[in-house]
Amino acid sequence: MSAPVRPVLADLEVGQELFRRGYDVDRDRLVRYAGASGDFNPIHYNDRAAHDAGLPGVIAHGMATLGLAGAAVEAWAGDPGAVLDLGARFARPVVVPDPGAAAVEVVGTVGSVDVGAGSVRVDLTVTCAGVAVLTKARALVRLA
């Protein structure tokens, strides 16, 4: 297995689109995320619990969605350990149908480049059905 080639800081320009990745979020993924994370809030797998909580249906864990964004960033960066900082505001829930899946798209663009520090701020647009589900989403990535 070979690791992806790492991008080079000097090649980056502010505003440049770096990557665009789509993920299907279905109930199976939510169950896997619940088990892996230990977050067993039933609003993430049980329709009745979700409706009782005033939600339109089962929703994805906010951290599962941010995890997808992180996956897209590290795939581009070529090293999961290069992601120094990652954060977002959970603006809208990702409602996950059954059967079927919610399509989440993650687009990364260059926010700023710090040549001295050897890092790039990647601004993330994370949408589901054209609506931003995360806002203020950004990552700081160390590059050579």
Q: Which residues bind another protein (CB under 8 A)?
A: 1-4, 23, 29, 32-33, 35-39, 53-54, 61-64, 66-68, 70-75, 78-81, 83-92, 136, 139
Structural contact between residues 31 and 40, judged by C-beta atoms closer than 8 angstroms = no
Q: Shortest gap between Cβ of 36 and another protein (angstroms)?
A: 4
- Tell me how far, at minimum, the Cβ of 97 lies from another protein, in Å: 18
> CB burial class (10 A; 0-12, 13-18, 19+) of residue 36?
exposed
Cβ closer to another protein: 35 or 97? 35
d(CA 57, CA 45): 9
Q: How far is the CB of 99 from another protein (least distance, A)?
A: 19
Which residue number, 113 or 137, has a Cβ lying nearer to another protein?
Answer: 137
